Amino acid sequence: MDYTIESYNALVERLLALSVAYYDNDAPLVSDFEYDRMNNELKAMEAAHPDWIRPDSPTQHVGGHVSEAFAPVAHEVPLESLQDVFSFEEVAGFVERMDASLDASHDYVAEPKIDGLSVAVEYRNGIFYRGATRGNGEVGEDVTENLRTIRSLPKTIQNAPERLIVRGEVYMSHETFRTINARRELEGQPLLANPRNAAAGSLRQQDPAICAQRMLDVIFFNIQLAEGAAYREHYETLEAMAAMGFPVVAHTLCRTPSECTAAIDAIGEGREGYPFDIDGAVIKLNDLSQRQTLGSTAKYPRWAVAYKYPPEKKPSRVLDIVIQVGRTGVLTPKAVIEPIRLAGTTVTNATLHNQDFIEKLGVNVGDTVLVQKAGEIIPEVLEVVKKDSEGSFRFPAVCPACGAPVVRDEDGAAIRCTGAECPAQRLRTIVHFASKDAMDIDGLGPAVVEALDRAGLIKTPAELYYLEPQSVAAVERMGKKSAENLIANLEQSKDRGLARLLCAFGIRQVGAKAAKVLARHFATLDELMAATEEQLTAIDDVGAVTARSLTDWFASEQSQDLIRRLREAGVSFESREEIADDRFAGKTFVLTGALERFTRAQAEEIIERFGGKASGSVSKKTSYVLAGANPGSKLTKAEALGVPIITEADFVELIKD
């Protein structure tokens, strides 16, 4: 193939950017398979034109950099990466090279390649001493305190060498990943993308307490250094680590090329049984002295290869398309397909992402589609390979869970249910209703909401105010005192006022700030419900989209039922937002730097109480920039635009009676 120096440089830059996203930001931009494909293309270019090779080429070093947020740790024994192969022919080629390079007989060990974050862990006199990430292979990041939070990491080991360094892989189990994402969905937080990046991001948290909450695990696959101990074979070291109490990767002894390929097949077929993601199988020379003889290239050991499982693709017929409603109200389409075997699992469902994706493919019930599952990702429909239907599947106009109208996000492809009492969303709705910015009900976090739901005590936020102490006390992990406290906190929350109640409703486009704006213009919820779209859009900071969202929500039968039940329970619908006067009416403030007399939240509250608006960015329309100590770039921009800059002392003068 003809290559150009321009295409070579472009590919190097692309791969460097992808490496930063994967290793440093824990946010991959392409699949592992696509990255490997590009990396192999780069190797082919460099083999054809060795004079082009750049020192910063990804082929010349291990991916990943060392973050300045952690102390550096120099690895006594480098943490090398492995040469990837993608076919059994390449595996056979590796075995042939071993045969040609070694006179003595030799065998191999096959292991699953865990898709996690590689670490080196050191023990001194049997006690955990220090742990570091792989980093660039030569220098890693000291993550000792975060590793201490991992329960499966032995903190002491028996019959250990005086000094021991072992290499392992930190991972987040599939069960933990699902549990954390379910909780994050309830709390309205962004979902973790995948277990590998969740593990990497968690281990590199500055606060060990956050790392502990992620419930990570670790599994080991190599002894890097063992002072005072002698091992002849890799298989022996794995058995020794297991005897010391380490969780050790599954391992199979292979004596022939056919046994190596059989082990690879077995690992691939059994991947469903692993608690972690795998992205391949590793074949390693077993004899440690032979490894020493062969050594390494600039980047890889010569005595091992990693077989990467290609994404499997198979055709199947679409039997049905069902719409699922998530806890945040998003409607997600799923294709029910004729069963096929992919990546070690039987697949009967595949994601269709959203309406735009369906229309792009032109897929409908009855069509034959190509389905892919790479590693442990969710199966997805790739394309239509045989069209046996008319047109494309269309989303329903109403929620399949509750019958409320559905709307499309203004800034995305998501289609959402608008029902205030949708059963599919009830946990998320109730958790949000009780949250800090909303009704601020102490003691009513996600775990308690889930427990009350399991007990059948609540289906909507309004039912919180009808709970009885004896029923709550009988709920798992509650008891009499906790029940009494919760009932008391619910009673107190009834008087939070209109702004918090509006925020608690979870109306699209109406967050805490918008709720305060509305509560300053309407004395009661009834006045707000009677307002027209024209009256709403006449208010500063209330646009047409927000106005339509409000009127549609109040017109819904589910919303009206929720409001009726809250009214009967004695929840206040009156505004608590006081306007001292309108001296800041029409004025916008931007805060930068640290204030001495006020927190930022307090200063913004004062500005809003005098009829003004607090913004996060400077523009020509900004009235004042309030600058505290160590102001940032906002001050520079204000100076460039000629925006008036005031000190904290100036601000105090402005708010004096």
* Cα torsion 438, 443, 449, 453: sign: negative
Gap between the Cα atoms of 498 and 516, Å rounded:
8
- CA distance to 61, 169, 485, per residue, from 307 (Å): 20, 17, 58
Q: Are strands 117-124 and 127-133 parallel, antiparallel or unpaired?
A: antiparallel
Q: Which spans in 577-617 are helix H?
A: 600-609
Q: Which spans in 205-318 are helix H?
A: 208-213, 234-244, 257-269, 288-294
Q: For residues 110 and 282, is the Cβ–Cβ distance under 8 A? A: yes
**Residue of 113, 308, 373, 613 marked active site:** 113
Clarify whether 436 is annotated catalytic.
Answer: no
Give which of 66, 5, 62 is closest to 204, Cα–Cα: 66
Instruction: For residue 459, give every residue at least 6 positions away whose Cβ sits within 8 Å of its Cβ, in sequence order, or none.
Output: 421, 423, 426, 453
Q: Are strands 645-646 and 624-627 parallel, antiparallel or unpaired?
A: parallel
Gap between the Cα atoms of 426 and 379, Å rounded:
28
213 phi, psi to nearest 5 deg:
-65, -20
Q: Which two tokens stand for residue 584?
A: 């800041």
- Residues 159-189, buried b or exposed e (16+ Cβ, 10 A)? ebbebbbbbbbbbbbeebbeebbebebbeee
Q: For residues 470 and 504, is the Cβ–Cβ distance under 8 A? A: no
Active site residues: 113
